[in-house]
């Protein structure tokens, strides 16, 4: 079957009734980027910068970071690259920056850590700006944002980096688009204010599920409760896309759900037009999108949203897939 999926990867992801869905790649390493882009990914929807940081023995210097980011941008050709600022803490420790906490997922991670260490954060922002890419290829994404102040503070650091670099380099750099991860539930209710500050939102369904359900995403004892098809999660995802459309915020999904066949179908049904996923999922999701209609999906979604648990949702999706394959 994988062969059948791959054979169509270079064909556009369009539903049978003509709705184009953009499929992006989640990446953290260089390998694979160039070939997937060449074969049809619309760009990199999530580049996790913590991965190269985890491969180092110490914080990479500004020039080391510039080098890595440049290579990622160039591997993506001219396609957009959404580069996320450091998202360590939680389940992603840096060996040279140990953090001891009772509740790491509720603790010092993502943007919180960056804002508490402006000397590190500024180096990363400067490196991203200098790596640049072509035109407005580069977009910057902020992880674990839980309030508007974090956005404002980050924008101030970005402005500082931008002004300093323009002076130092005696040029005018391109101002990248900036976006936030929607993965802390409270931000879901502030999207109107988010829209006044940034250009786009990327829904992190992994953390959003974890925080909405109060289930550790990595704890095997509660793994059966970690369910992105829980009707409560689905309603949150529906609310997110509706609010983003209402406030003119570009929106995509970069959590694992976007790379799962059932998840991708539901997201398209809800109105999402940009999905970002691991390399292994791209061909399959493209294949599926090309076999369904937006209209059938809308009908399906109505029934899905009336179910009382995730298992029922999956059963319905299974039946739908059987008739569309
Ligand atoms: C997410 O939380 O859904 C996400 C994409 O980010 P990460 O998995 O890196 O936390
Ligand atoms: Mg996350």
Q: What is the pLDDT of residues 186-224, one digit of tens each?
A: 999 999 999 999 999 999 999 999 999 999 999 999 999
Q: What is the pLDDT of residues 156-186, one digit of tens each?
A: 999 999 999 999 999 889 999 999 999 999 9
| Cα distances (Å, whole numbers) of residue 173 to 130, 164, 167, 180, 226 | 8, 11, 10, 22, 43
Predicted ipTM of the assembly: 0.99
Decide if pLDDT at 248 tops 80: yes
Strand 44-48 to 22-27 pairing? parallel
Q: CB under 8 Å to 186, separation ≥6 — which residues?
A: 146, 147
Tokens 């402005």 -> residue = 159
> 206 CB less than 6 Å from ligand 1?
yes
| Cα distances (Å, whole numbers) of residue 228 to 196, 223, 248, 265 | 29, 11, 25, 13
- Confidence at 86, pLDDT banded by 50, 70, 90: very high
> 183 CB less than 6 Å from ligand 1?
yes
Q: What is the pLDDT of residues 101-126, one digit of tens each?
A: 999 999 999 999 999 999 999 999 99
- Give percent above pLDDT 70 in the chain: 100
- pTM reported for the whole predicted model: 0.96
Name residues with Cβ closer than 5 Å to ligand 2, which is an ion: 183, 204, 207
CA 168 to ligand 1 center in whole angstroms:
35
């Amino acid at each position: 079957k994988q062969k059948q999926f791959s054979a169509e990867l270079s064909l556009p992801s369009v539903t049978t009734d003509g709705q184009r869905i953009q499929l992006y790649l989640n990446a953290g390493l260089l390998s694979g980027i160039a070939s997937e882009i060449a074969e049809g990914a619309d760009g990199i929807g999530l580049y996790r910068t913590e991965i190269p940081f985890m491969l180092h023995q110490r914080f990479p210097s500004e020039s080391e970071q510039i080098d890595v980011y440049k290579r990622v941008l160039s591997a993506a050709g001219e396609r957009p690259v959404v580069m996320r600022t450091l998202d360590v803490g939680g389940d992603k420790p840096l060996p040279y920056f140990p953090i001891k906490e009772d509740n790491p997922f509720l603790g010092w991670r993502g943007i919180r850590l960056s804002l508490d260490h402006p000397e590190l954060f500024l180096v990363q922002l400067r490196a991203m700006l200098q790596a640049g890419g072509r035109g407005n290829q580069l977009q910057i994404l902020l992880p674990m944002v839980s309030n508007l102040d974090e956005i404002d503070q980050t924008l101030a650091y970005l402005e500082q980096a931008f002004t300093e670099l323009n002076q130092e380099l005696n040029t005018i750099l391109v101002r990248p688009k900036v976006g936030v991860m929607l993965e802390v539930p409270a931000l879901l209710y502030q999207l109107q204010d988010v829209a006044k500050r940034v250009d786009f939102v990327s829904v992190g369904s992994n953390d959003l599920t974890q925080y909405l359900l109060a289930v550790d995403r990595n704890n095997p004892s509660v793994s059966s409760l970690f369910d992105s098809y829980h009707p409560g999660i689905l309603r949150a995802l529906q609310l997110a896309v509706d609010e983003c459309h209402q406030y003119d915020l570009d929106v995509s999904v970069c959590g694992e759900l976007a790379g799962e066949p059932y998840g991708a179908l539901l997201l398209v049904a809800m109105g999402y037009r940009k999905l970002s996923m691991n390399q292994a999922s791209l061909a399959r999701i493209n294949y599926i999108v090309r076999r369904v209609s937006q209209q059938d999906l809308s009908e399906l979604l109505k029934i899905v949203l009336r179910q009382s648990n995730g298992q029922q949702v999956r059963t319905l999706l299974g039946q739908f897939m059987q008739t569309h394959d």
